[in-house]
Structure 1
Amino acid sequence: MTLKSRLILPVLFIFSTFTIASAQNKLTTGVWRGVLKTQSGNQLPFNFEVTTVAGHPQLAIINGAEHYKVPDVKITGDSVFIKMPLFDSEFRLKLDGENLTGNWIRHLGDHDTQMPFAATPNTSWRFLRDPQTPAFDVTGRWAAVFGEGTDGRDELVGEFKQTGTRLTGTFLSTTGDYRYLEGSVSGDKLYLSCFDGCHAFLFIANIKDGKTLTEGTMNSGLTGTDKWTAVKDANAKLPDAYSLTALKPGYKKIAFSFPNINGRKVSLSDPRFKNKVVIVQILGSWCPNCMDETNFIINSGYYKKYHQKGVEVVGLAYERTTDFKKSQKTVAQLKDHFKVPYPLLITGYTPSKGDPMKSLPALADFKGFPTTIIIDKKGNVRKIHTGFNGPGTGEHYTEFVVEFDKLTEDLLAEKG
């Protein structure tokens, strides 16, 4: 064998080994089952689908009717990095054969949290491979109570649809819904979960008689826990969303001046808002219900339809940090994801209790995110809407869209 041959063979061997390893380090296409592990040891499952687009892997996280696309997936050797499109969170994983193991990491204002994660390909079931025949059908509306005692109780409305053992639905609260939940009914047990890059929810309850849910537990993220019960009630409903937040007595207007993501100050007194109907979104890039509201404004056609008729929209962002550069990054991510055409302002305040009221002193109170302030052509606050029930709530979302369109039309018809 010549010297040249002796040099070429090792190179070919290394190249072929690298090629084989690279070929092996791919995500199996199809439906996977992922499981997050809470601090208490409970397993929070969800499904996602892996596809290949232009030679690159992409995910779609499955929660009921929602398939949430996650295009930012990178594979380096046996490491897999998945960056969620919103909410500043990511997965850092290792390929173990065809399986994945690692952590889901949330980047908060001043620290990170992480949950152990594992996923298995070719697995379309969520909670149980072979659920028992359901003892009851829980389809319908439920009056739910979360928490215990008189001070720690929250009244919510559950909306469920059961088809065989498959269960979908959501919970509605005064500050928004729990988005798309999916799970199973097995025997006399109810299971629901959701994961969207921010929300990581797990609900379990006993079905007592088809009309009562007992011994309910809820896990939220790594450490959040709560207890809940519910009774079937076709008339269960929440308070009017326009009745929960108000201005202080004697106030008719609000005022603000905050920088946009480029650092330029934007004020409600700017000429662009004069003699216009103005929709003020109080939001955060960390808030899934805020994202649903933003999606409604942009992708339902609301902004395109009404902006040309005299409606302006402005978003006030309350991020988890007061650091402008960190907030700039997360708000820019939100703006780019939804292609937001209107100003998003960085308030410099956080979502902590009391901060929104400090930044907008005319507010008498503040219940939660999102909150939407509707201002008429004269600059007077006409309505304040607390929370947002998104498309996962079905008819509730449809009713809101009709109602909000009518309110907008009525205000546009008024003289400035």
Structure 2
Amino acid sequence: MRLLFLFTSLFSTIFTAAQPGSWVAQIHRTDGNNIHFTFDWKTEKGAPVWYIKNAGETIRVDNIQQTGDSLIVQMPVFESQFRVSLVNKKISGVWVKRGAEKTQALVFSAAPGNNRFTTKAVAAKNISGRWAVTFGNGENAEASVGEFVQKGSHITGTFLTATGDYRYQEGIVTKDSVLLSGFDGGHAYFFRALIADANTITGGVFYAGGTSQEKWTAVKNNNAKLSTEPAAMFVKPGQEKLNFTFKNLEGQPVSINDDRFKNKVVIIQLMGSWCPNCMDETAFLSDYYNKNKQRGIEIIALAYEYTTNWERSISSLKKFKQRFNVQYTILNTEVTVGDSLHTEKTLPQVTQIKTFPSTIIIDKKGKIRKLDTEFNGPATGAHYTVYKKDFEHTVDELLREN
């Protein structure tokens, strides 16, 4: 009993030293371009909880454990955690994220505060609106669309690309510069640039994780559009039906030809537990399925993970399933996302899978009716609303068919 009391007291002391409230966090890059985000530290039912905030998103993190004099803060979706200590009411440690081939560990710190970026300079320009954005240079340049909402110096927004959006970004406009950042456990992003005039953003640099960086520029264009060609997927000539069998999370084989999927509209979700946009699509599909499954709808998620290691993949997928209360079927293809032949090994009836998430919608006769590679997540606002409306319309039309 005394040992338990001492452990409980130490645990309580460590957490109370952290001063519940608002915190400003930094993931430290060696080049000094640190990635900022904010979170609220709360105590709920006697246990610590973090609420990570990015613009309109709040991520609840409640798996926080003590190991010796350190805390392990496990992100709820990805293979991502913070290992930190509390000293003088400040947090220091590392952010650890597992990848396909290696584990990344970056220095992490946090201090009490409310603003991810601070400035005494008043915003000289307002960049609210739609922008045609270019990432990279020359042959490697990628077209994107930036959409921002600025109120005073505070700014939120995102970048849409042919292969997915950059989710929730938040920051400030200070004099003639813009600073935006976002952290969701899977990716850590920081965008900075100069605002040359009301219609031009120049000298931009996009920092991702610990080492990646890329130049970007933008031109104001309310009619900016994206080409769907880079991510497009098609049914191969002479093919009209999928034919696959993979194991579910319990290790049991499940086939698209099983009786439970016959005479139903079936949505095939191509995803991975490592994928932030897949997280957004899964949240939508899980809610949609729970409300509509009785109408003759089934959803099958085909997972392409970082590794062929069954235990690691299943552990990540089960966490993903629990986070979004997924009631539909999730299958582990046991083919990695990095495998150059992942399409041929899993869905040889279609052309190359170029982006995750993607969806394949099958009618009640088992025929492929739509291949959709244009998912726009909730951070894209009106685009997300349009996506959901189009998805629901497609499914409704197929349900009406005999």
Is the structural similarity TM-score above 0.5? yes
Query: Distance between the aligned counterparts of 2:43 and 2:99, measured in 1?
Result: 31
Q: Which moved more, 1:382-391 or 1:27-36?
A: 382-391
Name which of 244, 255, 269 aligns with 2:232: 244
Query: Distance between the aligned counterparts of 2:4 and 2:261, measured in 1?
Result: 63
Amino acid at match of 1:125: N
- Correspondence for 2:123: 134
Name which of 366, 388, 393 aligns with 2:375: 388
CA deviation digits over 1:364-391, x for unaligned, max 9?
Answer: 1222111100111111111111142111
- Correspondence for 2:209: 221
Name which of 278, 298, 308 aligns with 2:294: 308
CA contact (8 A) 1:316 1:347 kept: yes
Query: Distance between the aligned counterparts of 2:313 and 2:396, measured in 1?
Result: 34
CA deviation digits over 1:152-202, x for unaligned, max 9?
Answer: 111111010000000000001112111110000000000000001001000
Other structure's SS at 2:389 match: helix
Query: Distance between the aligned counterparts of 1:313 and 1:241, measured in 2?
Result: 26
- Correspondence for 1:165: 153
CA contact (8 A) 1:357 1:366 kept: no
Superposed CA RMSD: 2.0
- Correspondence for 1:52: 43
Other structure's SS at 1:292 match: helix
TM-superposed CA distance for 1:357, in Å, is: 3.5
Query: Distance between the aligned counterparts of 1:18 and 1:369, measured in 2?
Result: 45
TM-superposed CA distance for 1:65, in Å, is: 1.0
Amino acid at match of 1:205: A
CA contact (8 A) 2:162 2:230 kept: no
After TM superposition, the score normalised by the length of structure 2 is 0.95
Other structure's SS at 2:280 match: helix
2:262 aligned with 1:262, yes or no?
A: no
- Correspondence for 2:114: 124
2:308 aligned with 1:322, yes or no?
A: yes
Other structure's SS at 2:295 match: coil
Name which of 334, 342, 346 aligns with 1:348: 334
CA contact (8 A) 2:136 2:215 kept: yes
Name which of 143, 158, 161 aligns with 1:155: 143
Name which of 276, 283, 287 aligns with 1:288: 276
2:285 aligned with 1:297, yes or no?
A: yes
Amino acid at match of 2:20: T
CA contact (8 A) 2:199 2:220 kept: yes
Change (3 A) 1:356 1:38: farther
Query: Distance between the aligned counterparts of 2:81 and 2:210, measured in 1?
Result: 15
Pairing of 1:198-213 with structure 2 (within 5 A): 198-213=186-201
CA contact (8 A) 1:105 1:113 kept: yes
Query: Distance between the aligned counterparts of 2:34 and 2:231, measured in 1?
Result: 38
The unaligned stretches of length 5 or more in structure 1 are 1-11
CA contact (8 A) 1:242 1:386 kept: no
- Correspondence for 1:7: none
- Correspondence for 2:170: 182
After TM superposition, the score normalised by the length of structure 1 is 0.92
Amino acid at match of 1:250: G
Pairing of 1:37-116 with structure 2 (within 5 A): 37-76=28-67, 78-116=69-107
CA deviation digits over 1:229-279, x for unaligned, max 9?
Answer: 010110012235898111112211221110001110111000011011000
TM-superposed CA distance for 1:23, in Å, is: 4.6
Query: Distance between the aligned counterparts of 1:89 and 1:219, measured in 2?
Result: 19
Query: Distance between the aligned counterparts of 1:19 and 1:384, measured in 2?
Result: 54
Q: Which moved more, 1:277-286 or 1:356-365?
A: 356-365
| Count of residue pairs the alignment pairs up | 398
Query: Distance between the aligned counterparts of 1:16 and 1:327, measured in 2?
Result: 38
Change (3 A) 1:387 1:117: farther
Query: Distance between the aligned counterparts of 1:54 and 1:216, measured in 2?
Result: 45
CA deviation digits over 1:263-306, x for unaligned, max 9?
Answer: 1011100001101100000000000100100100123xx21332
CA contact (8 A) 1:25 1:77 kept: no
Change (3 A) 1:18 1:398: closer
The unaligned stretches of length 5 or more in structure 2 are none
Change (3 A) 1:241 1:288: farther
4+ residue runs of structure 1 moved beyond 4 angstroms?
A: 14-23, 240-243
Name which of 305, 319, 324 aligns with 1:338: 324
Query: Distance between the aligned counterparts of 2:303 and 2:57, measured in 1?
Result: 25
- Correspondence for 1:373: 360
CA contact (8 A) 2:263 2:366 kept: yes
Change (3 A) 1:118 1:242: closer
- Correspondence for 1:411: 398
CA deviation digits over 1:197-227, x for unaligned, max 9?
Answer: 0010000010000211101100111121111
CA contact (8 A) 2:178 2:194 kept: yes
Query: Distance between the aligned counterparts of 1:236 and 1:358, measured in 2?
Result: 37
CA contact (8 A) 2:231 2:354 kept: no
